[in-house]
Amino acid sequence: MIKYSIIILMLFLVSCSSTPKSGIKDDYIIAIREKDGRDININAINAEVYLNDEFIGNCDGRGCYKIKLKDDKYTVRIEAKGYKSLEKQITIINGGGLKPIFLELEPTEETELKLEYIKTVKDPDRKIELYEGYLKKNPDVFVWDIHHELSGLYGAKNNSKFKYHKNIIFKNAIMDGYSLECLTGWYIKDKKWDKALIYLKRYISDSKYKYLKAVCMIAIGDIYSKHKDNPKEARTYYKKIADSKDKDNKEYIALAKARLEKLSK
């Protein structure tokens, strides 16, 4: 009987010794993240940390704040410019070792419409949503970077959206060289003219995207004229744009007419 009592007592002592006393403070890291687990935006790196409504410091460059806490209940609040205030109740029980406390911040609607914020978003679908939201709120604003990135994000996912954003670029940036090279899979830049022609001819059948079509027709004419020694074929493509009666397309009509005139000399 005594033998068993000693064993039970020893087990009890071991279990108690492995549990920290409630008065001992252990290291914890308050780590803030973007909503849905995305990396924290730079605007929140200097976020203010409050413990039980008392300001205790700012997060570091990693979005973290190290703190010692003993077993108890706490209210943690994070205030960060451009993000909604976040408050969370935490309970520390049997602490021990360095442990993270993850908090997810949600950007304000105003922040989500700022380009500097949207550019930091890594999830492609979320970035598309935010860029499209920005364009909806600013219908009269042309930002080359937005349309260029959206055309890349849509890519093979949505060919109509890809062509739509390329069309907007060519409407506002006449014969934009970089966008034209992208359209051909960089074959123009590499001087692989036959492959470039294959790519360009993909976009000339859809009159819905008239600026995209005009760019491709003129670029095809340029390849035939300058690199394939085929002025007759070049003239065919230039003429299709030069003969257009579309007043909104006057810049490209003028370019096509100028090229036709040069061929005639």
CATH at residue 99: 2.60.40.1120
pLDDT reported for residue 123? 87
Sequence length of the chain is 265
Query: 157, 171 in Cβ contact below 8 A?
Result: no
Per-residue model confidence (pLDDT) at position 215: 97
Structural domains counted in the chain: 2
For the chain, the farthest-separated pair of C-alpha atoms sits apart, in whole angstroms, at 118
Q: Which residue has the tokens 């360009």?
A: 200
Of 84, 107, 130, the residue that ends a domain is 107
Chain centroid to CA 74: 36
10-residue mean pLDDT series, the chain (265 residues)? 30 30 64 65 73 91 83 89 88 69 83 85 91 94 96 93 97 96 93 96 92 97 96 97 94 97 90
Establish if 9 belongs to a structural domain: no
Q: Please tell me the distance from the alpha carbon of residue 86 to that of residue 63, in angstroms, as a whole number.
A: 14
Residue that terminates a domain, selected from 73, 107, 141: 107
Q: Are 102 and 220 contained in the same domain?
A: no
| 17 assigned to some structural domain | no
pTM score of the predicted model? 0.71
* Structural domain for 155, as ranges: 111-264
Q: What are phi and psi for residue 233, nearest 5 degrees? A: -65, -40
In the listed set 107, 142, 166, which residue is the last one of a domain according to the structure?
Answer: 107
55 & 93 share domain: yes
Encoded tokens for 89 = 């109740």
Residue 147 in contact with residue 170, Cβ under 8 Å?
A: no
> Do 28 and 70 have their domain in common?
yes
